[in-house]
Amino acid sequence: MARKVLPAVLGCIFLFYFCLFFLAGPSPVYASGNAANAKKAILEVFEYLHRAHISQPKADQLLKGAVRGMIDTLNDPYTEYLSEDELEKLAENLGGVYGGIGVYLEARPDYPRVQEVFSGSPAMKAGLQVGDKIIKVDGTDIKGWSLPAAVEKIKGPAGTEVVLVIDRGGKEISIKLKRAHLDIPTIESKVVGKNTGYIAVKTFGVNTPGLFREHLDTLMSQHIGGLVIDLRDNPGGYMDAALEMVEIFLDPEAPIVITRYYDGSVNTHLAGKEVKRVKVPVVALINSQSASSSEIMVGALRDNGIATLVGERSFGKGTAQSLIRLDTGGALKLTTAEYTTPKGTKVHNQGLKPDYEVHIRSLQLPFALGILESGPKEIVFTSGKKEVAVDGNRITATSAPLINERGVYLPLRFTLEALGYVVAWEQDSAGISARKRDVKIFMPVEGYPFLNGREIKAGGSVIIEDGISYISLELIEQLGHAVKQHDDRIVIKG
């Protein structure tokens, strides 16, 4: 039995080496540091796979796999191969014209939340509301998805249908919508507060600079006393659009951005000779989704002493991509440069830290108005309710006031940020700090707080319930704020 098996095994081995020699030839080419040899190796492997693999792969399949494989070795999420369809979608996103349902979404750790519903859109007609969480799209649970991935899943050709399952106050609701052709403005503006201009930039598209000028001129004609530029959730777009827009604020030849290119060359982009249009104080709002061109704009505005930044640390995309059309179809979006702010602050993978960190989104605009507009703040809490009036604006707090035998307690971060304090957790000291101009208070998890370095026992310590930190009304008074209680209302001024 063994004698019969051995010739068969030897025959299989001989056949294997014969096929290997026949297919590969006697002189295989190996990739090396030489670019010509690398190209030859890729072409040789392509030929063998296309001609001899048992699955008979198509050339297009191998091409895309080879291109994406090379890109994957770079570990750069911003360099990518785009098919013709993907290229068309990119143009639609930057132009603000696409088939969708008509909402702006806000990134959250679990599910995206509806931030805005556009008038007359399929979303508005179907009854979607601000605050709704989208948990399923056409039956697919999107928990943990990135915001771009979720948006891409919801979008689609005009006239097609999409079924969303939303979470509204803990109740799941299924809604069917018909996508429509949407022309979404990349710029929105209005006058807010006492006399402050507000202009929101959703993305940096081809037409955004022209629209920005129009809206800005309209605001300036109303003799505004300050300007808020809202770049929250703006993922970027065309770099040239950001450069053109920021020039409006700068003196001639002021530095905008320093760019270091793939070939080692360095360029400092300077503002043109146009007379700047804006001569009022500026605050820019940013958050963790403000990226790329948004970071170029706010970095230039801050480094040139034009704007104060409020919100959260930005995303940290400090590289620029070139879009190269390929002769074989599609395009290559290729990282060709890295940039820093005019003062050399690195952006990539770090982001820009705001001058004032305000983590509660609904309080970021009121905080900005507090910087631009004079006058005391007024905050009105109502017992048993989360809704709070901040300078007349209705805002939902993290929790209602807490009333017990020790006194009245308010949600700490919300209350202090609403009063204009910058609140932070001090890891080394195991406590919460809050500062506003020359006032600084440190509140340890255990023990009494310190006001400007002096221990104060009046007002007691911070209490924590259900994961929320609370500050006593008495301690608010110790900070110098006027406090009044009338029936179920708690009014704080200062």
Per-residue pLDDT of 320-341, as tens digits, reads 888 899 998 889 999 999 999 9
Residue 153 tokens read as: 């899943």
CA atoms within a 13 Å half-sphere pointing along the CA-CB vector of 121: 21
pTM of the model: 0.78
* Domains of the chain with CATH codes: 97-183 (2.30.42.10), 187-357 (3.90.226.10), 376-493 (3.30.457.10)
Residue 161 bridge partners (DSSP): 178
CA distances (Å), origin 225, targets 149, 194, 249, 391, 494:
40, 9, 15, 18, 22
Where in 313-430 does DSSP place strands (E)? 319-325, 331-340, 356-357, 378-382, 387-390, 393-396, 402-404, 407-411, 422-426
Strands 450-451 and 454-455, sheet pairing: antiparallel
Query: Between these two residues, 353 and 17, which has the higher pLDDT value?
Result: 353
Q: What is the mean pLDDT of residues 151-173?
A: 90
Q: Which helix (H) or strand (E) holds 468?
A: strand 468-472
pLDDT higher than 70, residue 493: yes
User: Which are the contacts of 330, defined by CB distance < 8 A and separation ≥ 6?
Assistant: 81, 82, 83, 84, 86, 87
User: How many contiguous H segments (helices) and E segments (strands) does the chain have?
Assistant: 12, 33
**Distance from C-alpha of 247 to C-alpha of 252, rounded to nearest angstrom:** 8
Among residues of the chain, what percentage have pLDDT more than 70?
92
Predicted confidence at residue 270, as pLDDT, reads: 95
Predicted confidence at residue 97, as pLDDT, reads: 58
Confidence of residue 235 (pLDDT cuts 50, 70, 90): confident
C-alpha gyration radius of the chain: 29
Confidence of residue 402 (pLDDT cuts 50, 70, 90): very high
Contact (Cβ atoms closer than 8 angstroms) between residue 202 and residue 104: yes
Q: At what angle do helices 35-52 and 2-24 cross, to 10 degrees?
A: 130
